[in-house]
Structure 1
Amino acid sequence: MKPIKSTLLTLVFISITTMGCKNSNKTVQTNTITQTDTTIYKGTASVSQGPATVVTENVFECDRGREAPIGTIIATDGTSWTVPALVSFTDDSFPFASDLFNPCTKVEYNSADEALSALDGTDIIEIDEGGEVITAYIFADNYFEMYINGVPVGKDNVPFTQFNSNIVRFKVNKPFTIAMKLVDWEENSGLGSESNRGKAFHPGDGGMVGVFKNANNEIIATTNSNWKAQTFYTAPIKNLSCVSEEDTLRLSTNCNADDSDDGTSYYALHWKIPSDWQLPNFNDSEWPSASEYTNNVIGVDNKPSYTNFTNIFDDSSADARFIWSSNVILDNEVLVRYTVD
Structure 2
Amino acid sequence: MALANTFPGLEAFALTRKPRWSMLVTLLIGASLAGSGCAAERGASSASSSADTPSVGTSITVSSSVGAGPPVDFIADVWVDNWFSLTVNGQAVGEDVEPITQERSFNSQTLEFTATYPLTLAVVSKDYMENASGLEYIGQSQQQIGDGGLIMQVREKASGRVVAVTSPEWRGLVIQRAPLNPDCVASSKPLVDCQSSTLVEPPEWTSPEFDDSQWPTATVYTAEQVGVKQGYEAISWDGSASLIWGPDLNVDNTILWRFSILRS
Structure 1 and Structure 2 fold alike (TM over 0.5): yes
Structure 2 CA distance, aligned partners of 1:275 and 1:218? 33
Which of 148, 153, 161 matches 2:93?
153
Partner of 2:147: 205
Q: Which residue of 1 aligns with 2:132?
A: 190
Alignment equivalent of 1:325, drawn from 246, 252, 255: 246
The answer to whether residue 256 in structure 2 is matched with residue 335 in structure 1 is: yes
TM-score normalized by the length of structure 2: 0.72
Alpha-carbon distance in 2 for matches of 1:274, 1:145? 16
Query: Which residue of the partner structure matches residue 278 of structure 1?
Result: 206
**2:226 corresponds to 1:298:** yes
**CA separation of 1:289 and 1:165: change in aligned 2, threshold 3 A:** same
Instruction: Give the corresponding residue for 1:118.
Output: none
2:10 alignment partner in structure 1: none
The answer to whether the 8 Å contact 1:291/1:324 transfers is: yes
Cα deviation digits, residues 273-299 of structure 1 (max 9, x gap) = 211101010000111001111111111
Q: Specify the structure having the higher radius of gyration (Cα).
A: 1
The answer (yes or no) to whether the contact 1:84–1:190 under 8 Å persists in 2 is no
Task: Flag as ranges the 4+ runs of structure 1 deviating above 6 A.
Answer: none
1:47 to 38, 43, 46: 43
1:142 aligns with 2:82: yes
What secondary structure does 2:137 align onto?
A: strand
SS of equivalent to 1:168: strand
Distance in 1 (alpha carbons) for counterparts of 2:60 and 2:221: 30
Is 1:229 the equivalent of 2:169? no
Distance across 2 between alignment mates of 1:298 and 1:261? 25
- The DSSP-based 3-state class of the residue aligned with 1:332 is strand
Report if aligned partners of 2:82, 2:105 keep a CA contact under 8 Å in 1: no
Q: Return the alpha-carbon distance in structure 2 between the equivalents of residues 177 and 138 of structure 1.
A: 16
Aligned-pair identity (%): 26
List alignment gaps of at least 5 residues for structure 2. 1-39, 65-69
Q: CA 1:326/1:124 → structure 2, altered by over 3 Å: closer, same or farther?
A: farther
Give 1 or 2: higher strand fraction: 1
- 3-state SS of 1:338 partner: strand
Aligned residue pairs: how many? 211
- Matched to 2:72, the amino acid is E
Offset of residue 47 of structure 1: 2.2
Q: Is the 8 A contact 1:84 1:332 kept in 2?
A: no
Quick check: 2:49–2:201 contact (8 Å CA) kept in 1? no
Paired residue secondary structure (1:307): helix
Cα deviation code 1:242-261 (max 9, x no counterpart)? xxxxxxxxxxxxxx467424
Deviation at 1:123?
7.3
In structure 2, do the counterparts of structure 1 residues 165 and 155 end up closer, same or farther at CA, with 3 Å as the change threshold?
same
Amino acid at match of 1:169: E
Q: How many Å separate the matches in 2 of 1:291 and 1:151? A: 26
The alpha-carbon distance between structure 1 residues 127 and 135, as it changes in their structure 2 partners (threshold 3 A), is farther
- Do the aligned residues in 2 keep the contact of 1:123 with 1:169 (CA within 8 Å)? no
Q: CA deviation at 1:124?
A: 6.8
Cα pair 1:181 1:336 within 8 Å, conserved: yes
Contact 1:125 1:153 in 2 (8 A): no
Unaligned runs of 5+ in 1: 1-43, 49-80, 97-121, 239-255
Distance 1:183 1:325, change over 3 A: same
- 1:47-66 to 2 correspondences below 5 Å: 47-48=43-44
1:5-37: per-residue Cα shift (whole Å, max 9, x none)? xxxxxxxxxxxxxxxxxxxxxxxxxxxxxxxxx
2:153 maps to amino acid: V
Q: Report the secondary structure of 2:231's partner residue.
A: helix
- After TM superposition, give the deviation of residue 86 of structure 1 in Å: 3.5
